[in-house]
Structure 1
């Protein structure tokens, strides 16, 4: 609902996710934005080169976007922006949003700093385009002065009342450490925002907030550790921002590397395991189908929900450790059966002769078609994707979509049939053709045959099987002297390939390994300062890499990446299966 008259050029009732008032120049886009990999927390500049707001500064604006997308780390980036004084003055969404909102909640709880966040109806949001200045406050989003004479108040949002158990009340009391009750307050606030009726126990947590996004991320974790925070469920840690054991020999920035290592240590002090991987589904003890867990890291969330059949929301960074300290999570989102059904059907054209680049390209395309809705993908019933194919698909999908899961009919556990995936509903059908994926390949490769300085593999972390496949492709070949080939992977996987002799084979070819970190977090000189062009087989890194590294990033299948490491050049043409 909105009101427009000569005196009221724009005024719309709003649901306030974060209370407050702000006014500023409007910065509008109808494309969702991932703050991690999309916004520089030090400058407030949009660095996602594929986003319409690329190069614009968020500081002091009223940022209007449909919502967040991509990485769960957006919450930590927004908190750092707030503390740096580089954040928007306020934000307007067209849908309820958890990741960015959580960053403001934590800034309020821990530092007494905030900004208002409002949600308005999609039709009202569309009319924001072209406005110059906007004001948020008192349940309204309006042009300054437009609220004068406005009689309609913002309609109340009917949400279920959160009922706290005796256990929950105890976790809010002075009988528990300060870290526990602070964490519980944040969990309760998020549960209320989500409209959860109760909190539930979770079997395990994967913490993504151990990625260093600036001093605020370190201060947050150290405060919780100093306040007596101890995890109460098994808790794994995501990739961090440095190879903790070897950053000195790698020559990475000592100030940033020590800060990243100190951040990891703060989580270890709270009892988390030093897994340091963005692919926790590769670890022993991966969750079972139907198990309630609390995972952060976007690719891990969609893999857990979609491939493993476990149940987790797309938990924001900082909320992840709060759940680990309390063992309690909102009963909302993908914890509930009704929220796990597809809302869109994506039909994929048969494509014979495809190579492994098919899966990240398809995931990227499906994510753009389903930016907020869980899709059911058909046409792959006989494709027999491997775990690594699904990892590549899911990581690229989670880059362009905010949805917490996908279904592939005949492949993923909750989609034995299309009817099972959709709950029997008749849904909109969209198609993906070979031409669509060729367009996406050209998006990542605007030029062909470029000189390559670095081949970057392992986003998400390379698996044992991927390392073995890489060794076969490298066998009997000689790496170009001017090309670095670097693989990021977990400590656990590295130990396995060392024992199997795969690491020695790869090192003989000239492969270097980085453990603990991944390509979204690595520092120079792992990305050589003089390098101009990076080649990757990751749809996720092909998207985020240009903004994070400042380099050109090109995309290819694994075999073509190895060929480029030998010849020094990226593929000269579109793959044959896309031609």
Structure 2
């Protein structure tokens, strides 16, 4: 028995292999080892499976914008899936395959099929993709079959309207780097269904994260071709503390290329901001401003809390936008692309602490998938910017949606009228807490704070919580934050107060990039108040996690043990 169907080509090519399918989207960053292709996301049904050489069928990507960089690494090192089949809108993984094709003449096919076709994929064991054709089989494929040459896509295949500015980039008038950037933008604009390009006022680059040799090759090739940013551009957290990685004992084979990658983007004219929370900078955009941001939590915050306009740009497309100042006019750049299609009715617990917000974000993101939600029931919560930051980061970790609305809180919520409703109560929050608490023992050796990067107000609150307290000698406490926030907190006295307790501050990098020896090898269990890091840490650093509020993290730092009982507001 076999099933043959046709889909929409996102990246063309021919491939076949054993099927590996799941009904849950997968974030390649933090979810797949970029060197081996093994799924490391311990919350995913495909955990510990190898993607290498297999046809991967997932509804879409999700989570981190850096998934494109991980896929590029896998394609170039020979551990990528043979092909990727999806059924929902997907741009992060698609972009990784497009970069491999356009810049390195290697790629894999990416095919989008109808939902009813995707629903049947799990019935089959093998698949073959040839252009737009998908063949599903129960028996092994012909051993002597050879894939044909991939068709090289071009902007002539689209109906995008190009103005004189776009044509100048394509002609090479502004140099080879900008020309290649425009070619990639055109390919992605066709995937997004854009009809034209638009100017952006600023860019935040997430592609400065070192995922492996391919990420450095990409940047250095552009630099050799004369790359220069054309709009104000900030840089995300990089993979090391650029000024102190040697003193921290980071290995040369990570520290040197990660620092070189940052230097490449600085040489292009980007600012040494090195923060995953660019909305905390003085350069943060205003309501309605059209920008080109990557980094999943930053995109969510910009769209949802500020009301600026950006797509969830994958790594490397952010660089292309910076080099041209142009972005596809599609998605969240348009009114229609910002509408909620799902209402989430939330039960607001009495006396909930700050752990409520990342737990709720995790629940909402898990439910909505690619749909933009309107979240109701929080009107009396008096949520501040730190709470919304924590909510958005956890939401972005498990969702593919580019934004959310919260009734009575976020600036565009009043205009939303979704018909479909889902309820999220205390039961769902307890399930989320159970999913994020992966450590069997309450004994902890590390408290991880600052994912996303700490704000100045969080530094102040932490300083107040540790005032007059004594840290356990067996517990390391580390905070990550941007350079600008660290300097402001130093001037305010918060850093000195925290350091007196024994807290270490690390700048430039963030928890999703930190590993040994910054994380002490002897540590078996860590505690965090970040829903994002609680999700990623088991796969990234192989540690069990305890999740709790900031106050509970401080208590654990003093006692060496995490609270085992449910918080009273969840009972």
234, 237, 254: which one aligns with 1:236: 234
What SS class does the counterpart of residue 249 from structure 1 fall into? coil
1:444 aligns with 2:444: no
Hey, what's the Cα distance between the residues in 1 that align with 2:544 and 2:512? 15
The superposition leaves residues 343-395 of structure 1 with CA deviations (integer Å, 9 ceiling, x where unpaired) of: 00001113101000000000000001101100000001111111000000000
Q: 1:409 corresponds to which residue?
A: 407
Q: 2:2 corresponds to which residue?
A: 9
1:87 aligns with 2:80: yes
Hey, what's the Cα distance between the residues in 1 that align with 2:439 and 2:138? 50
What SS class does the counterpart of residue 545 from structure 2 fall into? strand
From the superposition, tell whether residues 447 and 216 of structure 1 become closer, same or farther in structure 2 (CA, over 3 Å): closer
Give the 5 Å matches for 1:155-554. Answer: 161-415=159-413, 417=414, 420-422=415-417, 425=418, 427-446=419-438, 450-554=442-546
- Report which stretch shifted further, 293-302 or 433-442: 433-442
What SS class does the counterpart of residue 312 from structure 2 fall into? coil
What SS class does the counterpart of residue 17 from structure 1 fall into? strand
Hey, what's the Cα distance between the residues in 2 that align with 1:230 and 1:41? 28
- 1:411 CA displacement: 0.2
Hey, what's the Cα distance between the residues in 2 that align with 1:543 and 1:217? 24
The superposition leaves residues 467-493 of structure 1 with CA deviations (integer Å, 9 ceiling, x where unpaired) of: 100011100010000100000000001
- Report which stretch shifted further, 524-533 or 237-246: 524-533
The superposition leaves residues 4-33 of structure 1 with CA deviations (integer Å, 9 ceiling, x where unpaired) of: xxxx62111111111111010000101100
The superposition leaves residues 403-453 of structure 1 with CA deviations (integer Å, 9 ceiling, x where unpaired) of: 0000000000001x3xx123xx5x111111112101111222256761100
Hey, what's the Cα distance between the residues in 1 that align with 2:190 and 2:364? 31
Hey, what's the Cα distance between the residues in 2 that align with 1:309 and 1:18? 32
- Report which stretch shifted further, 315-324 or 93-102: 93-102
- 1:174 CA displacement: 2.7
Hey, what's the Cα distance between the residues in 2 that align with 1:240 and 1:200? 28
Hey, what's the Cα distance between the residues in 2 that align with 1:446 and 1:455? 15
Hey, what's the Cα distance between the residues in 2 that align with 1:489 and 1:262? 21
98, 107, 131: which one aligns with 2:124: 131
Hey, what's the Cα distance between the residues in 1 that align with 2:187 and 2:109? 15
Q: 1:112 corresponds to which residue?
A: 105
- 1:552 CA displacement: 0.7
Hey, what's the Cα distance between the residues in 2 that align with 1:200 and 1:109? 22
Hey, what's the Cα distance between the residues in 2 that align with 1:540 and 1:194? 27
What SS class does the counterpart of residue 558 from structure 2 fall into? helix
Q: 1:67 corresponds to which residue?
A: 60
Cα contact 1:68–1:100 (8 A) shared by 2? yes
Cα contact 2:72–2:214 (8 A) shared by 1? yes
Normalised to the residue count of structure 1, the TM-score between the two structures is: 0.94
What SS class does the counterpart of residue 190 from structure 2 fall into? helix
Hey, what's the Cα distance between the residues in 2 that align with 1:88 and 1:449? 36
The superposition leaves residues 89-145 of structure 1 with CA deviations (integer Å, 9 ceiling, x where unpaired) of: 111001231000000110111110011111110111010103111000132111269
Q: 1:46 corresponds to which residue?
A: 39
Cα contact 1:448–1:571 (8 A) shared by 2? no
Cα contact 1:238–1:297 (8 A) shared by 2? yes
Cα contact 1:241–1:523 (8 A) shared by 2? no
Q: 2:149 corresponds to which residue?
A: none
Cα contact 2:439–2:525 (8 A) shared by 1? no
Hey, what's the Cα distance between the residues in 1 that align with 2:385 and 2:306? 10
Hey, what's the Cα distance between the residues in 1 that align with 2:431 and 2:337? 32
The superposition leaves residues 183-241 of structure 1 with CA deviations (integer Å, 9 ceiling, x where unpaired) of: 11101111111110100000000000000000000110111111100000000000000
Listed as ranges, the gaps of 5+ residues in structure 1 are 1-7, 148-158
Hey, what's the Cα distance between the residues in 1 that align with 2:222 and 2:134? 36
Q: 1:153 corresponds to which residue?
A: none
Hey, what's the Cα distance between the residues in 2 that align with 1:451 and 1:400? 27
Cα contact 1:161–1:195 (8 A) shared by 2? no
What SS class does the counterpart of residue 111 from structure 2 fall into? strand
Normalised to the residue count of structure 2, the TM-score between the two structures is: 0.96
Hey, what's the Cα distance between the residues in 2 that align with 1:162 and 1:503? 51
1:122 aligns with 2:120: no
Deviating above 4 A after TM superposition, structure 1's stretches of 4 or more consecutive aligned residues are 144-147, 446-449
Q: 2:153 corresponds to which residue?
A: none
What SS class does the counterpart of residue 121 from structure 2 fall into? coil
Hey, what's the Cα distance between the residues in 2 that align with 1:269 and 1:192? 30
Give the 5 Å matches for 1:549-564. Answer: 549-564=541-556
What SS class does the counterpart of residue 495 from structure 2 fall into? helix
Hey, what's the Cα distance between the residues in 2 that align with 1:500 and 1:165? 50
The superposition leaves residues 285-340 of structure 1 with CA deviations (integer Å, 9 ceiling, x where unpaired) of: 21011111000000000000000000000000000010000000000010010110
Hey, what's the Cα distance between the residues in 1 that align with 2:61 and 2:454? 27
